[in-house]
Amino acid sequence: MRYSLILLAIFPLIAISSPVYKWVDEAGIVHYTQTPPTRGNAVILSPQLPEVPPSQPDSPPQPPQNSAPKPDPRAEQEKLRQAEEERQNRCAIAQARLQELNNSRRVAVQDASGEYRRIDDDERAVLISQAEEIIRQDCQ
C-alpha cells in the first residue's frame, strides 16, 4: 500500500520528464507517443511547466490596484449642468405654486383619478409649507 502511494506520487513526475513525440502517419492521422516512430519524422514536444514566481514571505501583501476607469471630465460637467437645471426648474415650480396658493381664494388640485377638487385651509397650509421648503432648498 505504501509503495503504491509513492508510485502514484512519482508517476506524474516521470510522465512530465519523458519526451513526447508528435508524428503523422501515411493516412494523415496525428499521433502523440512517448516513443519515436519507426519511419518518418517526429517532432519532440517538451513539456512546459508554468513558471512560478519566487515567494517573498517578508513582504506584506499588496492591495489590488484600482483599475476602474477615470470619469470623463466633460461627462461630469454635463451631470453638474443637468443637476443645476433640475434645481432651477424645481425652484421655479415651487415659487409659482406658492404665489398661486397665496393669491387665490379658491385652489383646486387634481387627485389620482384625474378629478379636480377644492382644498381646505388646512391642506392649503401644508402645501404652502412644502413649497416654502422647496424654495429654501433649491432657490439659493
Within a domain: residue 61?
Answer: no
Distance, CA of 34 to CA of 20 (rounded, Å)? 5
Same domain for 80 and 39, yes or no, is no
Same domain for 40 and 78, yes or no, is no
Q: What is the pLDDT of residue 3?
A: 52
Three-state SS string over the chain comes to CHHHHHHHHHHHHHHHHCCEEEEECCCCCEEEECCCCCCCCCEEECCCCCCCCCCCCCCCCCCCCCCCCCCCHHHHHHHHHHHHHHHHHHHHHHHHHHHHHHHCCCCEEECCCCCEEECCHHHHHHHHHHHHHHHHHHCC
Within a domain: residue 131?
Answer: yes
Same domain for 90 and 130, yes or no, is yes
Contact, 134 vs 90, CB < 8 A?
Answer: yes
Task: For residue 98, give the amino acid letter.
Answer: L
Within a domain: residue 33?
Answer: yes
Same domain for 131 and 83, yes or no, is yes
Same domain for 77 and 40, yes or no, is no
Same domain for 77 and 133, yes or no, is yes
Query: Which residues form the domain of 19?
Result: 2-45
**Tens digits of per-residue pLDDT, 32-52?**
777 778 877 777 766 555 555
**Tens digits of per-residue pLDDT, 97-134?**
888 888 878 888 788 888 888 888 898 899 899 999 99
Same domain for 77 and 41, yes or no, is no
For the chain, the domain total comes to: 2
Give residues with Cβ within 8 angstroms of 91, minimum separation 6.
134, 135, 138, 139
Same domain for 84 and 40, yes or no, is no
